[in-house]
Structure 1
């Protein structure tokens, strides 16, 4: 019996993605995402991330096809043999991060990040931060443009652009990476176990305001941010054989 008998198609607003969705629905039919066996996301990496966030708690496998620009999280687009590709696809299970941010008004904000949680300076003044891991202060003062905590899946995204290390997709780790650090100038970040709890406190928040971002969800004027793995949340990403996320991350390290 086939694993995936009913398919839901979701597309970005790009013309190519919408056209692909119409063609695929006409050929394979369509179910609602809540009732489908699999979701096929059409667009770029942004659309794939939006789809994973939207159906975070549905535990439905998501198979992306590139109708956008970057496509690191996606498979190549082909209209034919989709059912066969779905049957042969490899499934990677990833766990996002859970961010809890506390702002200057005492409000608590929660969000999920599949790629990374980032803190950024809001004005021309550099941010001044204190970093603790599992209740112990590890860095008394970091002066920087910001800092991020990344999942293995997100380690090839903004983390890599900030010169952070790439992690294997199945590594039980997180990456803590500074963004344009000024002091200590030589600090390049840390690799942490996935069960670690990271607390980032904002020093001099009135003079040096900071925002916190979980993927595309932003909270401004934060005083402290706690980040930990959401180990109770499973996200199922599907890739064609030989093109799994683990393989893509490995290839990225050899730059080809």
Structure 2
């Protein structure tokens, strides 16, 4: 398998740190470790923080249209998208030997009740959530065919394999191996249909959601952290033109963590 040294200029690495005290202290300690360059001159970036900060960094690249390989060092809680932080010693060698993992985000187009259109990307999931105490009513279509005429519940989400261990897992959705080429469609606290627990779909699918009774039962959509309220319909599919590479130490890749997560009791 190709390692990072074959496509990264090790003299052009940028360092991006979370605003937490712990991350700032770690960044200061790494300051003299190698010749860091500004982000706009970098061939890859090293991210200090937790999973949330890594997602912020990846979204920043998607917004700028300047996508770099990202090597994360965990200074957060879970660190599912990160590598173990071991300080400066051997860091350059670790980055050079890191294995790339290619991931594609979801592209979401949401239309509000007023007809406004919003487009956003989600690395983990796109989730639809009721805004009030009223149960949401959502029609679900896959590739233009209605599959669930009316889902009643708190909402529904569509997750990538990377996001399948996040909100999707908390909603009792399936864990997806990274090479599965699948998406998880998972209801959130469903009331009707009572026996439907979701679906696993090919990642070439286009999934559409139409809100029933939107004025009475308003629904918001969230693409990772970006939220739009009072939506009428949402369309989601893989954004294959926005590939990203996450770099992992050999033996600690995200695909292995996803397999291991299925055996946690």
What's the TM-score, normalizing by structure 2? 0.94
Residue 222 of structure 1: aligned partner: 231
Asked if 1:114 corresponds to 2:120, the answer is no
Residue 40 of structure 1: aligned partner: 46
SS at 1:83 equivalent: helix
Q: CA deviation at 1:26?
A: 2.3
Number of residue pairs the alignment of both structures matches: 256
Contact map agreement 2:11 2:35 (CA 8 A) in 1: no
Instruction: Give, in whole Å, the separation in 2 of the partners of 1:115 and 1:167.
Output: 12
Q: CA deviation at 1:59?
A: 3.1
SS at 2:156 equivalent: strand
Instruction: Give, in whole Å, the separation in 1 of the partners of 2:17 and 2:257.
Output: 23
Q: CA deviation at 1:172?
A: 1.2
Contact map agreement 2:108 2:236 (CA 8 A) in 1: yes
Residue from 141, 162, 170 that aligns with 2:179: 170
Residue 30 of structure 1: aligned partner: 36
Residue from 139, 143, 149 that aligns with 1:130: 139
Asked if 1:73 corresponds to 2:81, the answer is yes
Instruction: Give, in whole Å, the separation in 2 of the partners of 1:34 and 1:247.
Output: 32
Instruction: Give, in whole Å, the separation in 1 of the partners of 2:139 and 2:105.
Output: 23
Residue 165 of structure 2: aligned partner: 156
Residue 15 of structure 1: aligned partner: 21
Unpaired segments ≥5 residues, structure 1: none
Instruction: Give, in whole Å, the separation in 1 of the partners of 2:33 and 2:73.
Output: 16
SS at 1:249 equivalent: helix
Asked if 1:240 corresponds to 2:249, the answer is yes
Unpaired segments ≥5 residues, structure 2: none
Instruction: Give, in whole Å, the separation in 2 of the partners of 1:23 and 1:7.
Output: 16
Instruction: Give, in whole Å, the separation in 1 of the partners of 2:28 and 2:194.
Output: 52
Asked if 1:98 corresponds to 2:107, the answer is yes
Residue 207 of structure 1: aligned partner: 216
**206-215 or 59-68: which moved more?**
59-68
SS at 2:33 equivalent: helix
**94-103 or 15-24: which moved more?**
15-24
SS at 2:40 equivalent: coil
- Give CA deviations for 1:73-98 in whole Å, capped at 9, x if unaligned: 11010111110000111100000000
- Give CA deviations for 1:142-177 in whole Å, capped at 9, x if unaligned: 001010000011001100110000111122111100
Residue 143 of structure 1: aligned partner: 152
- Give CA deviations for 1:200-248 in whole Å, capped at 9, x if unaligned: 0000111100000000000000000000010111110000000101101
Residue 83 of structure 1: aligned partner: 92
**212-221 or 34-43: which moved more?**
34-43
